[in-house]
Chain A
């Protein structure tokens, strides 16, 4: 009986160690209400949205945005520019207005722009970064405009261009643009679970 109790204690201690390792270094040091394992699972849901074309097309590592579900280079020689809003004569707002223009197929939203290079989620060959790399980058306050967990959650809940991903309008041929794999409510809920778990990141494989 005491042998069984010893084994149980050992297993508990091991699980506690794993949990500590997963949450170590995270922004939230208080007792998490969501386990690290649940947090990691939630993160993978968040990552599935972040790497969807509606999101990642404007999180490039290059001097240009992408477009379309095949994430091809933006046409018309559109470029990033020093402020991530294009260049004089060829700004994002040269075409992209405050809302989708379904009659012409041009998407739009408030302050249309590329994400800064510090928030790149692709490499320079346009391949999505790994889940671990995006996770570390997203919670790095030196890269993310100093957003802590609650601020990241708020960003995912309310930022106009984040919300646009779920109302992306029509393509020039009149068909609807595809949506991310989760609903916005599911995305926010997954972000909340990840934040509440202390923003754990998977190990690099």
Chain B
């Protein structure tokens, strides 16, 4: 066991856990931040996506010991960011969500995309969102919402 001080959504949090514990389980089990979802556990579906130092990161495969002092942003904190707020608004406007399970990961990846490519092409969206699966197949609405958010951010 080891103790880690994590910067999550701008707040310092302290957890004592096994160093090999994936960040996802620290968020969900230790800190009770359950907005980030467990999907596959092997980084194949994207449901567990958070930002680590601005990079969309699959929290289910990254041990907490490898986070160091890099800031973490989760779905609970992304609305404080202007791009994050725009994406969440677009998600509501376009009624993207069906069952909703994958959507926190979808939003985190979409924000990461728009922060680097404010005016993404269809190919950019396909490539950047290709690691986020949605079994309800909301992909068409996700694409519309990303384009809508891009216009809001401009």
A residues near B, CB below 8 A? 75-79, 81, 87-91, 93-95, 97-99, 101-106, 108, 172
Contacts and interface: CB of A to CB of B under 8 A. Distances in A.
B36 interface: no
Contact of A76 (B43, B56, B62): B43
B58 A88 contact: no
Contacts, number: 85
B52 to A, nearest CB: 8
Interface residues of B, number: 31
B22 to A, nearest CB: 6
A129 B128 CA distance: 30
B66 A99 contact: yes
Contacts of A75: 44
A27 B91 CA distance: 58
Contacts of A108: 66
B113 interface: yes
Contacts of A88: 56, 112-113, 115-117, 128
A102 B20 CA distance: 8
B61 interface: yes
A94 B63 contact: no
Contacts of B129: 89-90
Contacts of A102: 20
Contact of A104 (B61, B109, B112, B117): B61
Interface in B97-113: 109-110, 112-113
A95 B117 contact: no
Contacts of A95: 43, 57-58, 61-62
Interface string B119-132: 00000100111111
Nearest to A97: B66
Interface string B40-65: 00111010010000011110111100
B127 A104 contact: no
Given A89-B110, A89-B131, A90-B109, A101 B116 contact: no
Contacts of A98: 66
A87 B22 contact: no
Nearest to A85: B55
Contacts of A93: 55, 57
A93 B42 CA distance: 15
Contacts of B20: 101-104
Contact of B57 (A78, A94, A103, A172): A94
A170 to B, nearest CB: 11
B130 A77 contact: yes
Nearest to B53: A93
A90 B22 contact: no
A90 B130 contact: yes
Interface in B7-52: 20-22, 42-44, 46, 49
Contacts of B124: 87
A81 B56 CA distance: 15
A93 B117 CA distance: 18
Given A88-B56, A95-B58, A101 B131 contact: no
